[in-house]
Structure 1
Amino acid sequence: MSLKAALEQMGYPCYHMVECFPKGPRHWKLWEQVGNGAPDWDALFEGFTATVDFPACTSYASLAEYYPDAKVVLTVRDPEKWFTSVQSTIFGKEWIEFLPGTEAGAYMKATVDDYFDCRMHDHDHLIRRFNEHVADVRANIDPERLLVFEVADGWQPLCQFLDLPVPEGAFPRINDTEAVQGIIRAIMEEGFQAALGYKG
């Protein structure tokens, strides 16, 4: 979320799970198409010039091929902290058990669950997949297109990579754990449409 906020501050409307979920089932089906090998990237990202995090990050290679002029930012962090974060939010046990029987089940399976072999609570497996993902991006993206970035590095490397001036003010630092937990609770209690407000 910090990188999303930074990119938007720099003028790049940025797609993220928080944009995806409120678009509703018709939009989610576009991600099911991605899982079936028939992506419509232009439809998915209409109105956006950047994307971060899930669900797009698991399709980074296809996206890099489809958008050959796009630059790629690989955010890195301590894998153990990542594991702790996802277990308390998007990979939480109740949420993962809740999703398959919902209208979002197929979309989440295609974009997230399958990428982690549906082993969302297996510590060693998730840490291994995290490290494999980082290694794969490093190996598959041309170094001239790639910035390996830690949020703690701040504006300078990102702005230099994108050839943009450094904005005024501190780099965004967003800890969204509580917000994500709140959205998840609302969806589980009220249902997707009531919690997110999309039209049918």
Structure 2
Amino acid sequence: MKVIGVGFGRTGTMSLKQALTDLGAGPCFHMIDLIMGERKARDLPYWVQIADGSPVDWHEVFDGWEATVDWPAASKWREVTAAFPDVPVLLNVRDFDGWYRSVENTILAVKLAARAGELAQDANREQPAPELWGVIERLIWEGDFQGRFEDREWVRTMYDARIEEIRATIPAERLTVWNIGDGWEPLARMLGVAVPSHPFPRLHDTNEFRTEFGLPALA
């Protein structure tokens, strides 16, 4: 492992996945890999175990991966950073209001549409497997959000507290904080590599996410 991303999803994680790969820290594990990745049949059973609270060998879980960003790994940031004590840690963040709105309009919207049977069967992206819906429910909605996502102010407090806990737990020399929009420089510095000449990737904004799952784009 070369990078452990510990920030929540909807903080530029798909762009980070591509950027880290471009910088030589790939392949990079992301939730998308459990939906449509080539290794999903190998990886998903581990995350079912993790969501069920069963012990796992984290080196086995991430065998073949060189980095991780996004959920579900971000939900287990303490365990993953402890299992790889010498690996740099990336805390990817964005302003709370923009983040909350993005989660509402993407992963929550998809969850509610799926529950109502309203996801298009001919969407551009295959739906998560039933087992993955369970992982998402246990680790994200019931885990990180404790079943309280609709309580915006509680989530705000939790979001800020998570960032502060990570800052207090991970030594400063091991931690890189990357705010959405920061681009290549903090990542290249963390990895000790040159800044690429091509533009920073910008992937998976709200409307791209929605339309891939067959939901209408927002104005």
Indicate whether 1:19 and 2:22 are aligned: no
- The equivalent of 2:136 in structure 1 is 108
Indicate whether 1:177 and 2:206 are aligned: yes
- The equivalent of 2:184 in structure 1 is 155
- The equivalent of 2:22 in structure 1 is 9
Indicate whether 1:166 and 2:180 are aligned: no
What are the ranges of 5 or more consecutive residues in structure 1 without an aligned counterpart?
187-200
Count of paired positions:
185
The Cα RMSD (Å) is 2.4
Q: Which moved more, 1:106-115 or 1:162-171?
A: 106-115
- The equivalent of 1:131 in structure 2 is 160
- The equivalent of 1:198 in structure 2 is none
C-alpha change, 1:155 and 1:28, in structure 2 (3 Å) is same
- The equivalent of 2:45 in structure 1 is 29
Q: Percent identity?
A: 33
Indicate whether 1:38 and 2:66 are aligned: no
Contact 2:48/2:132 (8 A) holds in 1? no
C-alpha change, 1:98 and 1:65, in structure 2 (3 Å) is farther
Name the TM-score, length of structure 2 as normaliser: 0.75
Contact 1:29/1:107 (8 A) holds in 2? no
Map Cα deviations across residues 140-195 of structure 1 (whole Å, 9 max, x no partner). Answer: 11111001112322222221121111111122222432332234348xxxxxxxxx
Counterparts of 1:111 and 1:98 in 2: how far apart (Å)?
Answer: 21
Name the TM-score, length of structure 1 as normaliser: 0.81
- The equivalent of 1:94 in structure 2 is 112
Q: Secondary structure at the match of 1:18?
A: helix
Q: Secondary structure at the match of 2:108?
A: coil
Counterparts of 1:19 and 1:168 in 2: how far apart (Å)?
Answer: 27
Q: Secondary structure at the match of 1:167?
A: coil
Measure how far apart 1:129 and its partner are.
Answer: 1.8
Contact 2:59/2:83 (8 A) holds in 1? no
Counterparts of 1:41 and 1:136 in 2: how far apart (Å)?
Answer: 22
Q: Which moved more, 1:15-24 or 1:71-80?
A: 15-24
C-alpha change, 1:98 and 1:112, in structure 2 (3 Å) is farther
Counterparts of 1:54 and 1:148 in 2: how far apart (Å)?
Answer: 17
Equivalent residue letter for 1:54: W
Contact 2:34/2:43 (8 A) holds in 1? yes
Contact 1:2/1:172 (8 A) holds in 2? yes
Measure how far apart 1:130 and its partner are.
Answer: 1.3
Equivalent residue letter for 2:177: V
Map Cα deviations across residues 35-62 of structure 1 (whole Å, 9 max, x no partner). Answer: 3041332343232100001111111111
Indicate whether 1:60 and 2:60 are aligned: no
